[in-house]
Chains A and B, each alone.
Chain A
Amino acid sequence: DTGVSQDPRHKITKRGQNVTFRCDPISEHNRLYWYRQTLGQGPEFLTYFQNEAQLEKSRLLSDRFSAERPKGSFSTLEIQRTEQGDSAMYLCASSTSGSTDTQYFGPGTRLTVL
């Protein structure tokens, strides 16, 4: 059973650097979501894709954040000019279409900005 995978699992970077994370969803899933989770909080929605189309972005997603899903398969999340406030766990989830469908989460990428 191949679940959702994310790479890297941990990333430590200096303030001002750019970082990129990758998510590989379950192969038959056409929806892909990105969430951010900070300590003591639940995951917060960032953005989602239906196939290759990015259909919604949260206002949490500043101009420094960009996400892509070029061929409707894997997705990347890039943060430019990282700030200490970007330190968090970045989670990816995938599902088939529809509100009743379970979202399957990956292990997350923990970002630490020094």
Chain B
Amino acid sequence: AQSVSQHNHHVILSEAASLELGCNYSYGGTVNLFWYVQYPGQHLQLLLKYFSGDPLVKGIKGFEAEFIKSKFSFNLRKPSVQWSDTAEYFCGNFGNEKLTFGTGTRLTIIP
């Protein structure tokens, strides 16, 4: 069965700090990777996705993620975070007709 691991459960940063959230996936033959974000009181929204091509993917709100096949990783990055980035972030891999999510990382940005 596919699995997705997010090792950072809660990350606290000051505004303007750089961000990197880890995501590792189990090899399942296909790689269709997603990052979703859930702002407080809102529903899950897509940040970015990767299926093939350039392993560096740019998403909305200045986020990017890099697919590293040798490490089975798809880490999310942002060079300078804002208070409004406070949210929960979920990494997912689509395979066997379903999205498998990690447990999520809660990001708290201190003004």
Contacts and interface: CB of A to CB of B under 8 A. Distances in A.
Interface in B1-47: 4, 6, 30, 32, 34, 36, 42-46
Contacts of A103: 46, 99
Given A99-B32, A107-B43, A108-B43, A44 B49 contact: no
* Size class of the contact patch on chain A: 20 to 34
Given A55-B97, A99-B30, A42 B92 contact: yes
Interface string A85-103: 0000001010000011011
B100 interface: yes
Contact of B51 (A42, A91, A100): A100
Contacts of B44: 43, 91, 93, 105
A74 interface: no
A48 B99 CA distance: 11
A41 interface: yes
A45 interface: yes
A103 B49 CA distance: 11
Nearest to A101: B94
- B contacts with A: majority SS: strand
B99 A45 contact: yes
Which size bracket describes the interface of B in this complex? 20 to 34
Nearest to B41: A107
Interface string B74-111: 00000000000000001010110111111110000000
Given A105-B44, A108-B43, A42 B90 contact: yes
Interface string A40-69: 111111001000000110100000000000
A25 interface: no
Interface of A: 4, 33, 35, 40-45, 48, 55-56, 58, 91, 93, 99-100, 102-108
8 contacts: A33-B99, A40-B103, A41-B103, A44-B101, A45-B99, A93-B99, A99-B32, A103-B46
Interchain residue pairs A-B with the least CB separation, the first 5:
A42-B101, A105-B44, A45-B98, A107-B43, A99-B32
